[in-house]
């Protein structure tokens, strides 16, 4: 039986018994006494219940009524629950205030979006940067952000890290990021990167101009050195000319890679969706790799699935994939094994180059796509490297929404993977 009912019954029983005893001793009537006892208890209980109900109905915040018996116990339980809820509410409120104060102080726009892609909340900076207005609250993302490229990015936000675009008045450059949290809710963070873009643009322009200006003198020097090499000259001078020639070739390669990089860096995505005859391209690269290997006689194999092509810029993709294949040749000792594969995945296409060469120690892997980052300076230079190959690969892949993966073990070999997403694959 419920404890509360038991206590009520006990009260009724006690009053009834007390009434019966009083009735018996005063008027010798057990029944009348018992009846009177139970009526007194019921009336008293009804008054207490009424006070309790009025307190609950009217204002739980008024002072707690001092009630005896079971009603008193109910008042204490309700008051305890109310105090706990109030404390929790105050705590949530304080957290909210703190969150609002922190996000208001931020220069980045922050927009909270629920799992139905409805805009729920934003900070002050969002009103300034994105020009959001109160009418846009509870609207869908696609109603508020019209740019189809942004919506593309938003819907597949796990694939690409960030999206850059001009502000609506074209006065600033904005960088958008989307992070998921909770029950597939999202937070959109938008940063004004106009200043850093301007600096980057100046750096690119300087690099492109400097490389361009250097190209002509180097070509001239190289030409004269070739002519000189054909002359009958004393041995030490011939040796010096040979060395000057190899250095000037290195400089020419460096300038050519720098120009390629600066061209790639000027825009974030290659919008070209032309089919690339990828199998023909890879056959050509594999043949060139055999030439590069020359007397080193690497065993180079090529395995490819059929029925698809890659969409993008042929020159860029060729440069990225050939860089990976030629690196495998350069960093694998003579007679080493190099496997090139191209396979279809459920959601894209995977290109891979696996070698059993010198490998890369784990601590270097995160940095090898940085410009001029070399695991072994001497080895890279000896093999004719500019230190820019993987930086070019990275940029080309970003521009094709593709991802680079590297697994390697020092002394055992390396595997470089490139995953092209479905959007960059066409069935044939
Ligand atoms: P580099 O012109 O020096 O080869 P890259 O950017 O192409 O420049 O590569 C960066 C560094 O990554 C190289 O210096 C080399 O140490 C390492 N690397 C690249 N590919 C391989 C590979 N297949 N095996 C071992 N090391 C590699």
Atom nearest to 371 CA in ligand 1: 6
| CA dihedral (137, 142, 143, 149) positive or negative | positive
- For atom 21 of ligand 1, the residue with the nearest CA is 327
Q: Is the pLDDT of residue 411 over 80?
A: yes
Distance in angstroms (rounded) separating the CA atoms of residues 101 and 103: 6
Q: Which ligand 1 atom is at minimum distance from the Cα of 416?
A: 23
CB atoms within 10 A of CB 359: 20
Domain 107-192: state its class.
Answer: alpha beta
Query: Which of 133, 132, 176 is closest to 152 using CA atoms?
Result: 176
Maximum average pLDDT range among 122-126, 183-187, 255-259, 339-343: 339-343
Q: List strand residue ranges (DSSP E) for 5-72, in order.
A: none
| pLDDT more than 90, % of the chain | 44
List the CATH code of the domain at 196-265: 1.10.287
Ligand 1 centre to CA of 42 (Å) is 92
Ligand 1 center to residue 385 CA distance, Å? 8
Contact 154, 178 (CB under 8 A): yes
Mean pLDDT of the chain: 88
- 328 CB under 6 A from ligand 1? yes
Which of 321, 331, 362 should be mutated for ligand 1, with most atoms under 8 A from CB? 331
- What is the CATH architecture assignment of 278-427? 2-Layer Sandwich (3.30)
| From-to residues of CATH 3.30.565.10 in the chain | 278-427
Question: What residues does CATH 3.30.450.20 cover in the chain?
Answer: 107-192
State whether the beta carbon of 357 lies less than 6 angstroms from ligand 1: yes
Going by the DSSP 8-state scheme, the letter that residue 362 receives in this structure is G
For ligand 1, say whether the CB of 406 is within 6 Å of any of its atoms.
no
Q: How far apart are CA 372 and CA 61, in angstroms?
A: 70
- Residue 328 Cα to ligand 1 middle (Å): 8
Residue 159 pLDDT grade (very low, low, confident, very high; cuts 50, 70, 90): low
Task: Grade residue 402 by pLDDT with cuts at 50, 70 and 90.
Answer: very high
Protein residue with its CA nearest to atom 16 in ligand 1: 375
For the chain, give every residue range classified as CATH 1.10.287.
196-265
Ligand 1 mean position to 370 CA, how many Å?
11
CB-based contact 336:409 (threshold 8 Å): no
397 and 418 Cβ atoms separated by less than 8 Å: yes
Cβ neighbours of residue 427 closer than 8 Å, sequence gap 6 or more: 307, 308
Give yes or no for residue 211 having a pLDDT over 60. yes
Asked if the model's pLDDT at residue 206 lies above 60, the reply is yes
Residue of the CA atom closest to atom 8 of ligand 1? 387
Ligand 1 centroid from CA 215, angstroms? 25
Task: Specify the 3-state DSSP secondary structure of 364.
Answer: helix
Q: Which helix (H) or strand (E) holds 342?
A: strand 337-345
Each as own residue / partner, the long-range contacts of residues 406-412 (CB below 8 Å, 24 or more positions apart, any chain) are: 406/360, 406/365, 406/368, 408/359, 408/360, 408/362, 408/365, 409/359, 409/362, 410/358, 410/359, 410/360, 410/361, 410/362, 411/358, 411/359, 412/356, 412/359
Is 325 near ligand 1, meaning CB less than 6 Å away? no
Compare 368 and 5 and report the one with higher pLDDT: 368
Residue 322 reports pLDDT greater than 60: yes
pLDDT score for 267:
66
**Which residues are paired to 299 by β-bridges?**
337
Q: Mean of the pLDDT values across residues 103-119?
A: 90
Query: Which residue would you say has higher pLDDT here, 4 or 303?
Result: 303
pLDDT for 339: 98
Contact at 8 Å (CB) between 298 and 288? Answer: no
Pocket test for ligand 1, best of 364, 365, 389, 407 (most atoms within 8 A of CB): 389
Looking at residues 269-282, what average pLDDT do you find?
Answer: 85
For the chain, how far is it from start to end, CA to CA, in angstroms?
76
pLDDT above 60 (res 72): yes
pLDDT bin (cut points 50, 70, 90) of residue 114 is very high
Predicted local distance difference test score (pLDDT) of residue 380: 73
SS3 137: coil
Ligand 1 close to Cβ of residue 371 (< 6 A) = no
Q: Choose one of 374, 413, 417 to mutate for the ligand 1 pocket test, by most ligand atoms within 8 angstroms of C-beta.
A: 374
Mean pLDDT score, 38-46: 88
Share of the chain above pLDDT 70, in %: 97
- Band (pLDDT 50/70/90 cuts) for residue 197 is confident
Do the Cβ atoms of 286 and 299 come closer than 8 Å? no
Residue whose C-alpha is closest to residue 132's, from 143, 204, 182: 143
């Amino acid at each position: 039986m419920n404890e509360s009912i038991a206590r009520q019954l006990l009260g009724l029983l006690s009053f009834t018994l007390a009434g019966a005893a009083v009735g018996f001793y005063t008027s010798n009537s057990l029944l009348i006494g018992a009846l009177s006892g139970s009526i007194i208890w019921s009336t008293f209980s009804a008054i207490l219940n009424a006070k309790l109900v009025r307190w609950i109905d009217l204002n739980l915040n008024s002072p707690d009524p001092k009630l005896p018996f079971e009603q008193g116990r109910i008042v204490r339980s309700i008051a305890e629950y109310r105090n706990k809820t109030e404390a929790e509410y105050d705590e949530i409120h304080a957290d909210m205030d703190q969150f609002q104060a922190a996000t208001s102080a931020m220069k980045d726009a922050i927009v909270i979006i629920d799992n139905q892609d409805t805009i729920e909340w934003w900070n002050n900076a969002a009103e300034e940067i994105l020009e959001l207005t109160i009418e846009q609250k509870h609207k869908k993302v696609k109603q508020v952000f019209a740019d189809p490229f942004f919506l593309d990015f938003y819907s597949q936000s796990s694939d690409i890290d960030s999206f850059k675009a001009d502000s609506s008045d074209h006065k600033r450059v904005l960088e958008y990021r989307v992070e998921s949290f909770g029950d597939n809710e999202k937070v959109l963070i938008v940063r004004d990167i106009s200043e850093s873009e301007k600096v980057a643009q100046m750096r690119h322009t300087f690099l492109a101009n400097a490389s361009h200006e250097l190209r002509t003198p180097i070509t001239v020097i190289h030409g004269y050195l070739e002519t000189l090499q054909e002359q009958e000259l004393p041995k030490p001078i011939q040796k010096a000319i040979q060395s000057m020639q190899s250095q000037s070739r290195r400089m020419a390669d460096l300038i050519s890679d720098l120009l390629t990089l600066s061209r790639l860096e000027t825009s974030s995505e290659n919008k070209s969706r032309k089919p690339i005859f990828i199998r023909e391209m890879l056959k050509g690269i594999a043949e060139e790799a055999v030439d590069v290997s020359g007397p080193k006689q690497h065993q180079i194999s090529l395995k490819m699935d059929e029925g698809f092509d890659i969409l993008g810029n042929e020159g860029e993709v060729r440069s990225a994939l050939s860089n990976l294949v030629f690196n495998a040749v350069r960093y694998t000792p003579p007679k080493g094994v190099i496997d090139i594969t191209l396979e279809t995945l459920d959601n894209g296409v995977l290109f891979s180059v696996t070698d059993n060469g010198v490998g890369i120690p784990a601590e270097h892997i995160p940095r090898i796509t940085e410009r001029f980052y070399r695991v072994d300076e001497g080895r890279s230079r000896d093999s004719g490297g500019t230190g820019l190959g993987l930086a070019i690969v990275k940029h080309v892949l970003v521009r094709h929404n593709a991802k680079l993966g590297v697994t390697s073990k020092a002394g055992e070999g390396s595997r470089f993977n490139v995953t092209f997403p479905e959007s960059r694959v066409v069935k044939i």
